[in-house]
Amino acid sequence: MDIIVLKPGATDDDLQHIVEKLQKKGLGVHISKGTERTIIGVIGDTSRVSEDEENAIRAVPSVENVMRIIKPYRLASREFHVEDTVIDVGGTPIGGKKIQVMAGPCAVESREVVLGIAEAVRSGGATFLRGGAFKPRTSPYSFQGLGEEGLKILAEARERTGLPVITEVMDPRDVEVVSRYSDIIQIGARNMQNFRLLLEVGEARKPVLLKRGLSATIKEWLMAAEYIMSRGNHEVMLCERGIRTFETATRNTLDLSAVPLLKQLTHLPVVVDPSHGVGKWDLVVPMARAAVAAGADALMVEVHTNPEEALSDGEQSLKPDLFAFMMEEIRKVASAVGREA
């Protein structure tokens, strides 16, 4: 049910005008006349009323306010699906008791470097290998990734280590090739509202990790998830990776309050990427601990065997030793909050 509040002084004609509009949409009404204001309770499946239609009702001069009770994201909402969604990635569940850890370089740089990092993160305790083959770089002159050659390197690393892989897709035309090599498709922060791309991964039969946009609200982020789900792909996880604020001392502001809030609003698994969230390697471990304490289902962390030589994001990459230490740390926090890592 939605609620429409009329302005003080609205007449019976004004009320009738709105009631007729609602009836034309197949909706019923429950009218409550107070001393000051009349309130219309809208009865029926208001999830079918679009935001544009809702805003058109706001344009009626006698209307003071329209309150939406049903969330505009339906498939992603906790109301639609009460139980937590657990996504099974080739036998590895994301969203269950065990906290999964996706670790690896920012970019797939070369076969040798990636195979080395893959072995290092596996022995440190990672459960997924991450690495970008298509890189969304701010500058067109920066390293852009190896493309399909990078995907092949990831596939070889999976074969050697047994770790399933996650990698980013930036263009709807590459969804097919990325799905062929990767176990999870990543949508980067810069593409969170690339609607054509969202619809394309919605057609894919692969789990999707949807990163939060640089300045996206929780609602915009959930609506982006809804785009993917609306095409039939319900295996979506949300990744908090920091948002733009006035603060420049850290690369972004890691919004850990998003984690428990998302747990209320949606049934989808929640992932936290402290690496992009803070942008500094020596702040990653404490924020990884905090993410687990806040209820994250998985972490995504950048690791490099030689951060000084990394082609991107060396300043926020953990060396393998520190990554192994992080794993020990999050195991302690996980057990304190009834989880495993």
Residues that bind ligand PEP (CB under 6 A): 106, 132, 136, 188-190, 211, 241, 276
Shortest Å distance, C-beta 67 to ligand PEP: 34
Shortest Å distance, C-beta 151 to Mn ion: 17
Specify the pairing of strand 236-240 against strand 208-211.
parallel
108 makes contact with Mn ion (CB under 5 A):
no
Q: How far is the CA of 306 from the CAs of 104, 131, 144, 165, 319, in angstroms?
A: 12, 15, 19, 21, 7
Residue 2 or 168 with smaller CB distance to ligand PEP? 168
313 makes contact with Mn ion (CB under 5 A):
yes
Indicate which of Mn ion, ligand PEP, none lies near residue 241 (CB less than 5 to 8 Å, by partner kind).
ligand PEP
Indicate which of Mn ion, ligand PEP, none lies near residue 211 (CB less than 5 to 8 Å, by partner kind).
ligand PEP
Q: Which residue has the tokens 């970008």?
A: 132
CB 122 within 8 A of CB 161: yes
DSSP 269-312: -EEE-HHHHH--HHHHHHHHHHHHHHT-SEEEEEB-S-GGG-SS
Residue 68 or 190 with smaller CB distance to ligand PEP? 190
Interface with Mn ion (CB under 5 A), residue from 106, 258, 283, 333:
106
168 makes contact with Mn ion (CB under 5 A):
no
Query: Taking CB under 5 A as the criterion, which residues in 201-220 touch Mn ion?
Result: none
Residue 152 or 190 with smaller CB distance to ligand PEP? 190
Residue nearest to Mn ion (CB): 106
Residue 89 or 106 with smaller CB distance to ligand PEP? 106
CA dihedral 194, 195, 199, 202 (to 10 degrees): 60
Residue nearest to ligand PEP (CB): 188
Residue 82 region by backbone torsions, left for phi larger than 0, else alpha for psi between -120 and 50, else beta = alpha
Residue 222 or 238 with smaller CB distance to ligand PEP? 238
Three-state SS string over 38-99 comes to EEEEEECCHHHCCHHHHHHHHCCCCEEEEECCCCCCCCCECCCCCCCCCEEECCEEECCCEC
Shortest Å distance, C-beta 276 to ligand PEP: 4
Q: Which residue has the tokens 């030793």?
A: 321
Shortest Å distance, C-beta 90 to ligand PEP: 21
Shortest Å distance, C-beta 268 to Mn ion: 23
Handedness of CA 75, 78, 81, 87 (dihedral sign): positive
Shortest Å distance, C-beta 5 to Mn ion: 47
Binding positions for Mn ion, rule: CB under 5 A: 106, 313
